[in-house]
Amino acid sequence: MKVARRYPSKQDAFTLLEMSMVILVMLTLVSSGLVVNRQMTSWRLGREAGETLRTVYSAQRMFLSDNPTRTVASIVAADIVPYLPSGAATLPTVKSLTNTNLSIIVNVTPPVVNAGSGTAYDPSGKSNDSLWDVGE
């Protein structure tokens, strides 16, 4: 007895165009996921910097309430450290978008992240969004 073999017809197989479309859709999904991940990382770093600045700002206000004759311009980091709620031994730093540690300028109110040479670091471009700054 002979068994008839069934060969796939043209309707059962994937075409090169269909396979290319599937690969294109998969590449689009992966690339959009990478873009969203990069933006979430930037937002997370900004949020952490804002929280650190709020902590330093609270310590700065507590120091000024205990020392009402001092001006904001005369404050140094060593003055603020004992007032930090975490009991840290040094003033905290924040990470920039390029993964470098940045210090905090404490002789202005509210405190700002130091981009170098005493200028404020705020890649968000807004001074009231509470990312990379204390906000309003």
Q: Is the pTM of this model over 0.75?
A: no
Tell me which residue has tokens 């130091």: 114
Residue 7's pLDDT is: 65
Residue 21's pLDDT is: 92
Residue 12's pLDDT is: 64
Full pLDDT tens readout for the chain, 136 residues: 677 676 655 566 678 888 899 999 999 999 998 888 888 888 888 888 888 889 999 999 999 999 999 998 899 988 899 998 877 888 898 888 888 888 898 888 888 888 877 778 888 777 777 777 776 6
For residues 95 and 42, the answer to whether their CB atoms sit within 8 Å is: no
Q: How many Cβ atoms are within 10 Å of 77's Cβ, its own excluded?
A: 14
53 Cβ partners below 8 Å, 6+ apart? Answer: 94, 104, 110, 111, 112, 113, 132, 133, 134
CA distance to 7, 8, 11, 107, per residue, from 61 (Å): 82, 79, 75, 12
CA distance to 46, 105, 115, per residue, from 118 (Å): 19, 7, 7
75 Cβ partners below 8 Å, 6+ apart? Answer: 60, 63, 64, 106, 107
Residue 118's pLDDT is: 74
Where are the domains positioned within the chain?
16-113
